[in-house]
Structure formats: C-alpha cells, structure tokens
Amino acid sequence: MDDDGIKSQAGALRSLRLERELRIMEVCGTHTTEFFRTGVRGLFPEKLSLIDGPGCPVCVTPNDYLDRAIEISHVHGVIVATFGDMVKVPSSYSSLGRERAGGLSLEVVYSPLDALELAAARPENQVVFLSVGFETTAPTEAATVLAAAERGIKNFSILCGNKLTPPAVKALLDSGETAIDGFILPGHVSAITGLDPWRFAAEDYGKPCVVAGFEAGDLILGVVTLLRMIDEGRNAVKNAYRRAVRDDGNVRAREIMYRVFEACEANWRGLGIIPGSGLALREEYFEFDAEKRFPVTPPPAREHAGCRCGELLRGLIAPTDCGLFGKACTPENAVGPCMVSSEGPCSAYYLYGGL
Amino acid sequence: MCLAVPMTIKRVEGNRALAEAYGVERFVNIVMMPEVSVGDRVIIHAGFVIERLDPESAREMEAAWDEYHRALGDDGTTGRPDGE
Amino acid sequence: MEGRILAGHGSGGKLMNELIAGHIRRVLGPESVQLDDSAILAIGLERIAFTTDTFTITPLEFPGGTIGSLAVNGTVNDLAVMGARPLYLSCALLLEEGLEIAVLERILSSMREAADRAGVAIVTGDTKVVERGKADKIFINTAGIGILERGAERRELEPGDAVIINGFIGDHGMSIMALRNDLSFSRGLVSDCAPMNRLIARVTAAFPGSVKFMRDPTRGGVASVLNEIVKGAPFGIGLYESELPIRDEVRGVSEMLGIDPLYAANEGKVLMIARGGDAEAIVESMRSLPEGSSAAVIGRVTEAHPGRAYLETRIGGRRILPVLLEEQLPRIC
C-alpha cells in the first residue's frame, strides 16, 4: 500500500471514538517495537491501551539458561554461537558480551545453519548453538539438528531454550490478573502454527483475536479489526495477515519441529513454570543436547533486586511503572531483559516512547 | 522473535534456493517449503523459507479496508477518508 | 579500575563516550580528546587542523575499497569537515606475522590511489610486525595535517537550518555487514569510501558563511552525529523519512539483518547543516560533482523536541532516533 493509502487508514484509526476503556495485548515482541517504530502507536484513539505480552523470547528466557550457557562456554574448546539478540542479555552475574571480554568464544550468526557450518569448519572445537525462539524459529533449529545428524557433524550441539506461545497466553488468562479485551496475535508464529492453537482464547475465554502482520498498514488493520470484533462481541480468531498466514499454518514446518523436539514444561520469566510450553530434544537426538554433552553446574540463579520484568511480562505494569526504568536500568546498562532485547517492551518505551 | 522478510525465489538447487529482495541475494533453506519455484514470493526467517506469500491475498489490506468502510456504511466509491 | 573493555566501547556510541570522558580525558587531560574530528592548532601565522585515526576492518578488501583506502579517506575527511585543506598524511602499519605480501601490496596500492585522488602526500610512517595471533592481519594508523580555509568556520545552529547529505546513506556499513553474513547483490552494493575534500571546498567557497557545521558520519552513522549535535542543545533535529537517500540494497540488508541504516557507517559522506535559505542551492552545487550526485536535504533544525534527534515517519508519526548504545548485531527479533 502506498504512503497516501496508509495515511488515510491512519486517519481512520485516529478518528475512532471508543465508548469505554479498552485494553488489548500484543503477544509478539516485533509488534511491540513496530507499533512504536512506524508511529502507529501515536495514532491510537483515547481510551485504548496496548499491553505488551510475553512475546519476546529473549525477555522470557530465565537467567538460569544464560548462566548455563556461560558455564558451558568455559569448557575447553567450546565456541558459543548465537543470534545477535542474546549477546547483551543479563544473566544472573554477567552476560555473553561481558564474558567475551573475559575470553568466551562467541560467534554471532544470522541462521542456525551458519552455526552448523562453523562446526563443520572447526572440527577441533565444539560449537554450542543457543536455541531460543518461538514457533517461528524452532523449526529452523530443528532442521539444523536434522542436517547435523545427516552430515554426521559430531561437534555441534544446541542448548534448548525454545518456547511455545499459546500455552503462555493461556497461563496468563488463567492467572486472571490482567483485564484484557482482545489479542493481536503474532503474525510469523501463526504462519507456522495456524489459527487452531489460538481458538481457546476466543472460545473458552471470550477474547477476540486478530493475527496481524508487521507493516504500518497491517498494524492499523489489525487494531481496527480487533476493535470492531470487541465492539460486536465476536469471539473468534480472525486472520488479517492472510498473505503470509494460512489457517492451518505450515504443516511441514511443524512436522520438522516435532520430529526433533517434543513439548515439555518450561520456565518463563515472570510467568513461572508452564506445562507443555517448552521444547526439548527427543531421545533420538540427545547427542545434540548441549545440556547432556556438557554436564556443568552453574552457580545458583538470582534475580536482580527491584527488577519488575516479570510483572511487565504478565501485563500487570507498564515499563514506566518500574522504579528502575530509565534510571538504574537503561539499554546500555540493563538490569532486566525487557530493557536489553531489541524487541523488549522497556527498550521500546525507552527508545521510542519519549516523543 | 519474528523478524522475517519477504523475498523472491530466483533459483532452486536441491534443498536450498537463491532468494532476492531489493537487489540483495542470499541462499536460503527450503526444507519447510520444498515446493517453491522460481518467481515465488516467500518469507525468510533465520535463513529459512517459512512460508510462501499468497499472491491472491496480496491485496488483502485494500480488500479488508473496503470491507471495513462498507460495514460502517461508508459510500463504497467516494467514502474513503482521503477521497480516493 | 574495575571492569574490562567491551566490544561496545569501540562502537562510537554511548559506551565509547563514557570510556573517553571517564578514562582517557580524565587521565590524559581535557586537551587530549577533541569532540570534533581534529584539533585546531596555531603554528606561526597558520592555523592548522591535526588528526589521527586507526583502522581495523574485516574483511581487509571489500567491494569499493580496502583498509588502505579507508585509512587515507578517513583521515582526509576528518580534516576536510573541519574546514581544512588536507595536505600531509602519516602511515603506520601494524602487521601480523603471516600476512600475505600480495595482500599488503594491494592495500598499499589502494592507499596510494586514494592519496592521489585526494591530493595529499604520505610523508612519514612506521612499520611493526607482531607475532601471529597478536593482531588481526593488519592495523593501519594515519595522522593528517591540513590548513584551515576561510569561510568554513563553525556557527551556532538555529531552527530553520537545513540538514544536507551528499548522497546515499549507509552504503559502507551495510555492504560490509552483507559480506559478513553471506548476502550478495544482483546489481552490486559497494562501499562509498571516497575523499570529501573537493566537494566540501567547492561548497564552502561558493557559500561562505552558510555552512554552519560539517561532520563525516562514519562509525555510528548519521543518527549518532545528529545525537552529538543535539545533546543539551536548545533545539531538536528532525529527519524526513521519505527524503532519506537510501538504496534499495541497503534497505534490503537492513530488513534482513535488523540493522538500521541511519546507524551504519559511511566513508564517503558529509553531513552539513547550513542556512535553510541556501540549502537547495548547496544541494545543486553538490550534484555537479560525482561524489554529490545524490545529494539531498534530509531534515531541519527545529524548535520542537529540544535535545532530541527524531524522524518524521512516512505515515506522519514521529519517533526518536536514540543514541546508539553498542555495536549493531544481526538479529532475528
């Protein structure tokens, strides 16, 4: 859509009049950032609040995961390969970036396959890939494990930290802590999962849901569609990103994902342990499990005093409600992961919320 | 964690394909979408094709907005806020 | 002192400023570090600009240049943006044991070509070799001296002044990022590595007193330069997203790797802030030279949002261009 078209849709959003306070939640960190970056957030009508959900995999990764990664990195010959997103995230006592200054071998990769190639090229080293991400990313990591098995690359392993999003949304609704009128669902997660895993939110909990894309026009369309569904009391899951999301998702991607992984309980920052919300390697692929290959004992995990990332990820507070926000906790010296991740809500508020 | 970009398939070689966007090319893995063929628009995440973009739905935004305005009782031809 | 040097300390962002203010300036004294690109010194009756810069880059050779041409152009441009005519350069080479002589030859040739193009002479130098593993193939330091020209003195900025750039944004940084991440280009994207002294001399001679500020937006990019300018200032600077000259290829790399071109390094660009009334004429003048053929007015100094650099987005929203915190890494979220 051209700029003029989007400006006209922006006008439509801005001119909406709401009869009551409405709270909608996005469950995707990329949405958090894009709502700010495109300027769409500034177009919201009065009485509309956007709550940031637990949609940033970096933010919901608990400290003990990074503590373990750092401990494994101390094993002789280990190279840690990771998406750039994880480099600055604080662990209990440090971060990968800080550890690199102390000698940790760190490679930032764009694709998990790049980490596998690194292992193939460096047979004298052990490459440990930090496997994080939601349903969008997990199949790429599963496919990489399959490739490693097929090519017989023995010096490659992954540290599983993957999470599944619908169980987290369910846990959030079950907690009953936050009043939410509807959900903007993650576009690229849904491209893999399809719409079915989200129907519980509409059907069992009475929350209208819209799958949205990421361009300014997509965001506006998603919000306007959701507001209309709320207004009409239409408790359904609507797909407003049909060019990329099929109703049944990507069946083959899920097949690859579940050939390698199986669902397990997982610990989410803020939400705690949620059954069936994580992914673990299946027994056939245990040899690629870094946790088994490197049986280290990380120091006891600790949370940072005063950090309210947990409450934020449950939608209970806004970033600016936290006493550390912008003071003790800034992106360059982050206390909590929501400030350091590029798609963390605190980071987005800090960088884009000041105008 | 869902930064994904639309690209166009230029060439297919086994389980990978050369994809292009804005004149930028990269080999991408197609195991999740092996039926892609030259000219397809796809979305790439972390070096993998995760989905093919549906050309039928490419104008969904326009269509959805038309529907939106119709539902609000706008005049379908002249009621667009910008007077299109 | 506690702590260690982090990669982010070298990225031209906030961490680097803390390193400079908290350690280098504190110990070596306030005169040791110039906020600008060069020191201005008086020797006899002449006023000269003096600068130094050290270069390290992977890969050493890249489309559009090498570490050698980068080292020459970087120092030439640091002098030129101070309103100086660059004259003499030094060249110090730090070589890692094992570097191929043929590679060194090519790097030196590209230094020579860059110096000829910029009209400067390399007049002194030094060579050191360190054991394998003690350096990354080759580091180059160049220092440069130039004579200050009249008509290019700094002036106070005020609302209404225009922000001008001589061409496409982010070509160097994004082409290097692409190379490191296995991205290639169907039509080619090369570093913009080039000397700016001819273009700057032409503009400052044709519009004496109009150009109030110049800077080469290298590491940290356009947004970082703007943030330095507005820090603590009674005005803001707004860029127009729709006017930014950004190549399709740069936009593509940017979307794929999640890196903002406004923070990517440029090696053949000058950001000028000039009297608003002269802006279009300055752009016209730049466009008569190949290194200014895509010049554009990209923003303005504003009364709104004092102390902030911001972007007016395509859809009519505004967002802050924050201070770059650390190096940009390819990301997937």
Q: What are the pLDDT digits (tens) for C170-219?
A: 999 999 999 888 888 877 899 999 999 999 999 999 999 999 999 999 98
State the residue for tokens 């990019």: C221
Note the pTM of the prediction, 2 decimals.
0.87
Q: Which amino acid is at C70?
A: L
- The first and second tokens of residue C74, run together, are 């970087």
Band (pLDDT 50/70/90 cuts) for residue C289 is: very high
Strand order in the sheet with A126-131: A106-108, A78-82, A126-131, A156-160
- At residue B78, does pLDDT exceed 80? no
Res A83: pLDDT: 94
Cα–Cα distance for residue pair C259/A29, rounded to 1 Å: 16
Judge whether C288 and C203 are in contact, CB under 8 Å: no
**Which stretch of DSSP H or E encloses residue A131?**
strand A126-131
In this predicted structure, what is the pLDDT of residue A206?
96
Q: A160, A279 in Cβ contact below 8 A?
A: yes
User: Residues 6 or more apart from A227 whose CB is under 8 A from it?
Assistant: A16, A18, A22, A24, A48, A182
Distance of alpha carbon A73 from alpha carbon A125, whole angstroms: 11
ipTM for the assembly: 0.91
Contact C9, C3 (CB under 8 A): no
**Residue reference for tokens 């005093």:** A305
Q: What is the pLDDT of residue B82?
A: 35
Extended strands (E) in C33-175: 39-43, 46-55, 61-62, 65-66, 84-96, 121-130, 138-148, 162-165
Is 2.30.30.140 the CATH classification of the domain at B5-53? yes
Q: Which residues of chain A have pLDDT under 70?
A: 1-3, 354-355
Nearest to A111 by CA among B17, B23, B45, C258: B45
pLDDT at B83: 30
Q: Chain C interface, mutation test: which of A41, A93, A110, A137, most C Cβ atoms within 10 Å?
A: A110
> Does domain C162-320 match CATH 3.90.650.10?
yes
Q: Is C249 on the interface with B (CB under 8 A)?
A: yes
Give the Cα separation of C320 and C242 in Å (integer).
Answer: 16
Chain centre distance of CA C273: 15
Calculate how close chain A gets to B67, using CA atoms only, in Å. Answer: 11
Using CB atoms, list chains with 3+ pairs below 8 Å to chain C. Answer: A, B
pLDDT, tens only, A132-144: 999 999 999 999 9
Give the residue extent of every domain in chain C: 34-148, 162-320
- Which B-chain residues 51-80 have CB contacts (< 8 A) with chain C? none
Contacts of C216 (CB under 8 A, 6+ apart): C37, C74, C77, C78, C80, C81, C196, C266, C267, C269, C270, C271
Does the domain formed by C34-148 have CATH 3.30.1330.10?
yes
Q: Which CATH number fits domain A27-298+307-318: 3.40.190.10, 3.40.50.11740, 3.40.50.1370, 3.40.50.2020?
A: 3.40.50.11740
* Cβ-Cβ contacts under 8 Å, A3 against chain B: none
Among A12, A15, A188, the residue with its CB nearest the CB of B50 is: A188
Domains of chain A by residue range: 27-298+307-318, 319-352
Rounded CA-CA distance C296/C164 in Å is 6
pLDDT of the residue at A6? 73
Q: How far is C177 from chain B (nearest CA, A)?
A: 12
Question: What does the DSSP assignment read for A173-207?
Answer: HHHT-S--SEEEE-HHHHHHH-SGGGHHHHHTT--
- What's residue C326's pLDDT? 67
- Provide the 8-state DSSP code for A301: P
